[in-house]
């Protein structure tokens, strides 16, 4: 059987991760083309992983006759455009989140994808974390009865730079967007309303840049459940990613992952390791599983596990969250989608 041929657009941090995964862990695929505006970096990466075609122009990847699917790892403001062009060229698409920060732009991209009949998967990698996946599967199979309360804790080890924050779209579209997707995934139901209480408690510079760094976000789900996300841009003890879902027949929780499970007993207490501190470490398996499932969906013509509508919804919820902070009231998602 011939291998699925992929082209990657963007050779930055996440592009490198995806290429390494595809080459080392997805034997049924082949990365045949790579584009980055930084052509030197792209050529070096191509040499390391045996990628034959390199360009500084993403269009050459999309148009490359061997390329069956593109993996879009370029900056956010290019995502929707590349999706549209790839769809029009008949290529399947894996795109990093978020698709865009504008609802209309995302809707248009989804429409083009549908018209072209190609597959579009959005990179919500955390859905493929073994802990969260286990919780999802247990909820989906009825182990907790009807979901009542969902709680997600999501805290970063360190805030991004003020420069990054200025262009990020704000915490809700940059960081919490993952949690919005996770909430929909775990609860198995759409979010219909959000109320956000936010604060600047990590760094005043973040507030001066017009963003917040700490938040408690109340969620209402279509199935009647309610939920809460708590966020901070800085947890001194590291990357904190936990959740619990409570229902009429029980509760399931997922905890952080750790570099090792040693415990150290001294006259001063019992001590253990901090959580894996870097999202690449925590979600290493998730990144790999995500791309395997994307390739598998193409090769066996199955639905992708996270589609364009999922990309749309998380951005809509993020925009509702911003509005909630601005107006100090609960905001319905339908206000944003209308």
Q: Which is nearer to a copy of itself, 89 or 149 (CB)?
A: 149
Rule CB under 8 A: say whether 2 interacts with a copy of itself: no
Q: Is 322 in the site for a copy of itself (CB under 8 A)?
A: no
Is 135 one of the binding residues for a copy of itself (CB under 8 A)?
Answer: yes
234/223 Cα distance (integer angstroms): 33
CA 133 to chain centre: 14
* Contact of 109 with 223, CB cutoff 8 Å: no
Count CB atoms within 10 A of the CB of residue 274: 15
118 by Cβ neighbours in 10 Å (0-12 / 13-18 / 19+) ranks as buried
Single out the residue of 14, 39, 103, 251 in contact with a copy of itself (rule: CB under 8 A): 251
User: How far is the C-alpha of 329 from the C-alpha of 99, rounded, in Å?
Assistant: 27
Under the binding rule (CB under 8 A), the answer on residue 141 touching a copy of itself is no
CB of 212 to a copy of itself, least distance (A): 10
Contact stretch for a copy of itself (CB under 8 A) within 52-60, 131-139, 297-305, 308-316: 131-139
- Using the rule CB under 8 A, give the single segment among 55-63, 110-118, 215-223, 312-320 that binds a copy of itself: 215-223
Give CA–CA dist 99/290, Å, rounded: 17
Three-class SS state of 208 = helix
CA separation for the pair 311, 296 (Å, rounded): 20
Binding mask 71-90 for a copy of itself (x = CB under 8 A): --------------------
Quote the CA–CA distance of 320 and 331 in Å, as a whole number. Answer: 6
The interface with a copy of itself within residues 171-210 (CB under 8 A) comprises 195, 197-199, 201-202
Q: Is residue 26 near a copy of itself by the rule CB under 8 A?
A: no
Query: Quick one: which of 39, 89, 205, 228 contacts a copy of itself (CB under 8 A)?
Result: 228
Cβ proximity to a copy of itself, 89 vs 274, nearer residue:
274
Measured distance CA(4)–CA(295) in Å, rounded: 7
- Residues 331/198, Cβ–Cβ less than 8 Å: no
Give the Cα separation of 35 and 321 in Å (integer). 35
Residues binding a copy of itself (CB under 8 A): 24-25, 130-131, 133-135, 138, 143, 146, 148-149, 151, 153, 155, 195, 197-199, 201-202, 214-216, 218, 220, 224-228, 230, 232, 234-238, 246, 248-257, 259-267, 269-274, 328-330
């Amino acid at each position: 059987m011939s291998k699925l041929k992929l082209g990657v657009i963007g050779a930055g941090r996440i592009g490198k991760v995806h290429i390494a995964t595809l080459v080392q862990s997805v034997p049924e695929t082949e990365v045949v083309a790579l584009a980055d505006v930084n052509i030197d970096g792209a050529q070096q990466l191509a040499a390391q992983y045996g990628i034959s075609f390199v360009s500084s122009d993403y269009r050459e990847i999309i148009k490359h006759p061997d390329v069956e699917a593109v993996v879009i790892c370029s900056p956010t403001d290019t995502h929707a455009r590349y999706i549209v062009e790839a769809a029009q060229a008949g290529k399947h698409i894996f795109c990093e989140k978020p698709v865009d920060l504008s609802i209309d732009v995302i809707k248009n991209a989804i429409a083009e994808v549908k018209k072209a009949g190609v597959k579009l998967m959005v990179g919500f990698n955390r859905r493929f974390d073994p802990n969260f996946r286990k919780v999802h599967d247990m909820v989906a199979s009825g182990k907790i009865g009807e979901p009542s309360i969902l709680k997600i804790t999501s805290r970063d080890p360190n805030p991004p730079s003020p420069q990054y924050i200025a262009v990020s779209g704000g915490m809700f579209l940059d960081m919490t967007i993952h949690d919005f997707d996770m909430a929909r995934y775990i609860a198995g139901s759409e979010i219909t309303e959000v109320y956000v209480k936010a604060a600047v408690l990590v760094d005043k510079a973040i507030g001066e840049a017009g963003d917040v760094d700490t938040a408690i976000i109340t969620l209402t789900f279509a199935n009647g459940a309610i939920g809460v996300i708590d966020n901070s841009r800085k947890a001194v003890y590291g990357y904190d990613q936990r959740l619990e879902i409570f229902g009429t027949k029980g509760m399931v929780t997922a905890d952080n992952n750790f570099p090792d499970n040693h415990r150290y007993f001294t006259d001063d207490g019992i001590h253990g390791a901090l959580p894996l501190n870097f999202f690449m470490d925590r979600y290493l398996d998730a990144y790999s599983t995500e791309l395997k499932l994307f390739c598998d969906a193409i090769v066996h013509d199955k639905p992708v596990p996270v589609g364009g509508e999922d990309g749309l919804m998380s951005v809509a919820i993020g925009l509702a969250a911003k509005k909630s902070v601005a107006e100090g009231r609960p905001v319905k998602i339908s206000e944003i989608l209308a």
